[in-house]
């Protein structure tokens, strides 16, 4: 790969994150204690994990969700496309993550957003709330990664459309589009994602971030959490989907997809592969796809998890692993629709 500023885990290490989605049957009050036990109807057999209980940040009934992301490493900004919604937005949220050497400076908590299509909006400066912080995602020179969330006015994110994210003028770091492995001065932005929720249909949308955002996956294990669902999993073939937003995914170096062991992450739900080798898509959810064809360290993927749901289950266990063990990533946010 030539000169690299990225640390790699030993080849035998396993990179795993276990998430359990717990149905608690109440909005917005959740029976977290019962959900954490995982012993109700449809509970997963043999699953005795001691997991952290996490409630949704937002729950919206009779709703649908769409998301889109853009990579920001060594860039001044990027475009985000939202598609697939049937009407106007009811609410919208922007997430971004930044690696810093020490505590993040105040300026990285602000970011600009403007809608470009179907009509142009005014540019809005958004001030984010810190929702998670953890150890840096294996980059030399940084010590912390911080995840921010800001509410976006629905006069800017109106629904489907194209949007431009721009970093604050004069913010330190590189903005010349250079290869991150040739240098990533701090602060090093990872990327940004827009999550748009509309009032439509019969689904419930739950959005999660706090208590796992900013957690960097390390070898041989990752964070285990119980995400409290706002309702029981239906017994029919009702479609379920999960939007996964993560930082620092990649599939190679020097802007090229050249390392299979770096793009071989597998995403499984209840033991059913839904992403990566062995899944129907055979494509990782953590390979820096928001910045391709360059390797720009941000992912925003919508994953169909209908086949993996267990009707009546109190939780839905999701595992992200990497047999090659040469990469590490950071969780940002999850949205569940179903």
Give the 3-state secondary structure of the chain: CCCCCECCCCCCCCECEEEEEEECCCCCCCCHHHHHHCCCCCCCCCCCCCCEEECCCEEEEEEEEEEEEEECCCECEEEEEECCCCCCCCEEEEEEEEEECCCCCHHHHEEEEEEEECCCCCCEEEECEEEEEEECCCECCCCEEEEEEEECCCCCCCCCEEEEEECCCCCCCCCECCCHHHCCCCCEEEEEEEEEEEEEEEEEEEEECCCCCCCECCECCCCEEEEEECCCCCCCCCCCEEEEEEECCCCCCCCCCCCHHHCCCEEEECCEEEECCCCCCCCCCCCCHHHCCCCCCEEEEEEECHHHCCCCCCCCEEEEECCCCCCCCEEEEEEEEC
d(C-alpha 192, C-alpha 205), whole Å: 20
Residue 178: exposed, middle, or buried by beta-carbon count in 10 A (0-12, 13-18, 19+)? Answer: middle
pLDDT at 326: 65
Residue 11 has pLDDT above 70, yes or no: no
Question: Which phi and psi angles does 109 have, rounded to 5°?
Answer: -85, 5
For the chain, what percent of residues have pLDDT higher than 70? 77
pTM flag (> 0.75): yes
Longest dimension (CA), the chain: 55
pLDDT at 260: 66
Mention every residue, 6+ apart, whose C-beta is less than 8 A from residue 152.
92, 93, 94, 113, 124, 126, 194
pLDDT at 48: 41
d(C-alpha 158, C-alpha 124), whole Å: 14
Residue 226 has pLDDT above 50, yes or no: yes
Structural contact between residues 146 and 161, judged by C-beta atoms closer than 8 angstroms = no
pLDDT at 204: 92
Question: Where is average pLDDT lowest: 88-92, 174-178, 262-266?
Answer: 262-266
d(C-alpha 138, C-alpha 188), whole Å: 12
pLDDT tens sequence across 58-93: 999 999 999 999 999 999 999 999 999 999 999 999
Residue 227 has pLDDT above 50, yes or no: yes
pLDDT tens sequence across 270-293: 778 888 888 888 888 888 889 888
Q: Tell which wins on pLDDT, 324 or 235.
A: 235
What is the average pLDDT across 42-59? 59
pLDDT at 223: 56
pLDDT tens sequence across 204-218: 999 999 888 998 876
d(C-alpha 41, C-alpha 36), whole Å: 13
pLDDT tens sequence across 118-163: 999 999 999 999 999 998 877 777 999 999 999 999 999 999 999 9
Mention every residue, 6+ apart, whose C-beta is less than 8 A from residue 278.
266
Residue 243 has pLDDT above 90, yes or no: yes
Structural contact between residues 85 and 61, judged by C-beta atoms closer than 8 angstroms = no
The C-alpha R_g of the chain, in whole angstroms, comes to 19
d(C-alpha 301, C-alpha 132), whole Å: 20
d(C-alpha 250, C-alpha 253), whole Å: 8
Question: Which phi and psi angles does 289 have, rounded to 5°?
Answer: -65, -25
Residue 190 has pLDDT above 50, yes or no: yes
What average pLDDT does the structure give for the chain? 79
Residue boundaries of the structural domains of the chain? 17-337
Question: Where is average pLDDT lowest: 110-119, 249-258, 311-320?
Answer: 249-258
pLDDT tier at 324 (50, 70, 90 boundaries)? low
Q: Tell which wins on pLDDT, 202 or 79.
A: 79
Structural contact between residues 18 and 49, judged by C-beta atoms closer than 8 angstroms = yes
pLDDT at 179: 85
- 150 strand-pairing partners: 94
pLDDT at 6: 42
């Amino acid at each position: 790969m030539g000169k690299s500023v990225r640390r790699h885990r030993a080849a035998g290490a396993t990179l795993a994150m276990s998430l359990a989605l717990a149905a608690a049957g109440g909005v917005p009050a959740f029976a977290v204690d019962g959900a954490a036990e995982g012993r109700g109807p449809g509970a997963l057999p043999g699953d005795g994990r001691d997991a952290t209980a996490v409630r949704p940040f937002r729950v919206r009934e009779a709703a649908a969700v769409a998301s889109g992301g853009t990579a920001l490493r060594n860039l001044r900004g990027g475009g985000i496309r939202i598609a697939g919604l049937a009407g106007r937005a009811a609410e919208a949220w922007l997430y971004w993550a930044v690696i810093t050497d020490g505590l993040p400076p105040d300026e990285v908590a602000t970011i600009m957003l403007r809608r470009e299509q179907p009509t142009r909006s005014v540019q809005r400066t958004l001030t984010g709330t810190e929702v998670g912080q953890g150890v840096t995602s294996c980059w030399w020179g940084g010590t912390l990664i911080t995840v921010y969330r800001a509410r976006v006015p629905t006069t800017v994110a109106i629904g489907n459309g194209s949007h431009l994210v721009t970093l604050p003028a004069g913010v330190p770091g590189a903005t010349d589009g250079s290869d991150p492995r040739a240098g990533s001065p701090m602060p090093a932005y990872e990327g940004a994602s827009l999550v748009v929720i509309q009032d439509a249909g019969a689904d419930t949308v739950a959005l999660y971030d706090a208590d796992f955002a900013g957690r960097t996956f390390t070898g041989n294990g990752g964070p285990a959490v119980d995400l409290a669902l706002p309702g029981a999993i239906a017994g029919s073939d009702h479609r379920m989907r999960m939007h996964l937003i993560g930082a620092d995914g990649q599939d190679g170096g020097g802007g090229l997809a050249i390392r299979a062991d770096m793009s071989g992450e597998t995403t499984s739900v209840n033991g059913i592969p839904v992403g990566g080798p062995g899944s129907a898509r055979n494509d990782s959810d953590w390979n820096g796809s928001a910045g391709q064809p360059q390797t720009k360290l941000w992912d925003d993927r919508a994953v169909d998890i209908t086949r993996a749901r267990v009707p009546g289950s109190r939780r839905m266990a999701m595992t992200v692993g990497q047999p090659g063990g040469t990469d590490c990533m950071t969780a940002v946010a999850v949205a569940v629709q179903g």
